[in-house]
Amino acid sequence: MAPVNSQRTIDERHTTHVKPPSGFPTLELGEVWRNRDIVLILAVRDIKVRYKQSFAGISWAIIQPLLTMIVFTAVFAGVVEVTTHDAPYPLFSLAALVPWSYFVHAITKATSCLVTDQNLITRVYFPRLVLPISAVVGGLVDFFIAFALLVILLVIYGSAPTLKILLLPFFLLFTILTALALSLWLSAINVQYRDVNNALPFFSQVLMFVSPVAYPASSIPEKWQLLYALNPMATVINGFRWALLENQPGPGIYSLVSVAVVLIALFGGLYFFRWQEDRFADVV
């Protein structure tokens, strides 16, 4: 037997227990935090890979919301008139499209992340939560590029920012949490049922119609507002418009419903993900 090196100190934290899955899962968020390097490295990898061998490169982050804005403006400001509370329609729609594009991009990326990286899951151990978190965090680069476009448009229209803009980070955080909450469920289910990935484009299209992307949330009758707030993206978009544009109705009392929905979906999603996690390597 080789001699024991007594200089070596072993951290209690590094003790690994291998045991069958049992009972209610624990979240182990501390372990995810200790592996935050992997979150960043995977996010950077995805960004690098996405824009390699691409002519337009990172400007795709601008092209998509910009073109959608132009189409929306042509339809909803030209053909069918939509009330925008006096905001120019391009600004009105882009203020919604920037968080919306991020949201759709993040959940699309996150849904397939466990399948895309199945060679990692079946061959290396690391907290699996790192993968959807990385997908959701990585999308922020696109968000900030698209947001820069929005800022330019605000300047062009001479729309001066008010103090309300200071609350924008909270609405961004809420967008991230909404995307993460949904991603945890979708990614874990997608491991076993790839149907999720096929249904997702349709699902996000429908979700766009029930979100105030092209029209103002105020056009929904009062008696439906509570139901409408069950969709947290309604609150996200209201919040972005309110913080960036003038004369927009702010997020009301119903926003609390959205917050509750997201918190429940987030913690439910974390537990669901952890419950399913043990089988990822065997099932994927």
Partner 1 sequence: MSFDKPAIVAEGLGKSYWVGGHKLIDSMGMHALVDRALTSPGRVVTRLIGQKKPTSHYPEIPGHMKWALRNVSFSLEWGEVLGIVGHNGAGKSVLLKLLSRITRPTEGHAILRGRVGSMLEAGTSFHGELTGRENIQLSGAILGMRRSEINRRMDEIIEFSQVEEYIDTPVKRYSTGMVLRLGFSVAAHLDTDIMLIDEVLAVGDQQFKRRCIDKMRSVAKSGKTVLFVSHDMDVLKDISDRAILIREGSLVMKGSPEDVVEEHLKNAGRS
> In terms of CB distance, is 25 or 161 closer to partner 1?
25
> In terms of CB distance, is 14 or 223 closer to partner 1?
14
Q: Which two tokens stand for residue 28?
A: 């182990």
- Determine the Cα–Cα distance for residues 136 and 177; give it in Å rounded to an integer: 9
- Determine the Cα–Cα distance for residues 151 and 146; give it in Å rounded to an integer: 9
Q: DSSP string of 205-267? A: HHHHHTTTTSS-GGGS-GGGHHHHTTSHHHHHHHHHHHHHSTTPPPP-TTHHHHHHHHHHHHH
By CB under 8 A, the residues from 20 to 39 that bind partner 1 are 20-22, 37-38
Amino acid, single-letter form, for residue 272: F
**Minimum distance, C-beta of residue 269 to partner 1, in the bound complex (Å):** 14
- Binding segment for partner 1 among 17-25, 72-80, 82-90, 206-214 (CB under 8 A)? 17-25
124 burial type by CB count under 10 A (0-12 exposed, 13-18 middle, 19+ buried) = exposed
Which member of 29, 58, 71, 124 binds partner 1 (CB under 8 A)?
Answer: 124
Which member of 119, 163, 222, 223 binds partner 1 (CB under 8 A)?
Answer: 119
> Is residue 49 a contact residue for partner 1 (CB under 8 A)?
yes
Binding-site size, partner 1 (CB under 8 A): 45
> In terms of CB distance, is 170 or 193 closer to partner 1?
193
> Is residue 1 a contact residue for partner 1 (CB under 8 A)?
yes
Q: Which two tokens stand for residue 171?
A: 């609405």
By CB under 8 A, the residues from 239 to 278 that bind partner 1 are 276, 278
> In terms of CB distance, is 34 or 209 closer to partner 1?
34
Q: Please tell me the number of Cα atoms within 13 Å of 114 on its side-chain side.
A: 33
> Is residue 52 a contact residue for partner 1 (CB under 8 A)?
yes
Apex CA 226: angle with CA 221 and CA 228, to 5°?
A: 70
- Determine the Cα–Cα distance for residues 55 and 265; give it in Å rounded to an integer: 39
Which member of 55, 80, 81, 123 binds partner 1 (CB under 8 A)?
Answer: 123
Contact (Cβ atoms closer than 8 angstroms) between residue 191 and residue 114:
yes
> In terms of CB distance, is 212 or 269 closer to partner 1?
269
By CB under 8 A, the residues from 128 to 167 that bind partner 1 are none
> In terms of CB distance, is 228 or 280 closer to partner 1?
280
Give the interface with partner 1 as residue ranges (CB under 8 A): 1-6, 8-12, 14-22, 37-38, 41-42, 45, 48-49, 52-53, 119-126, 189, 192, 276, 278-279, 281-283
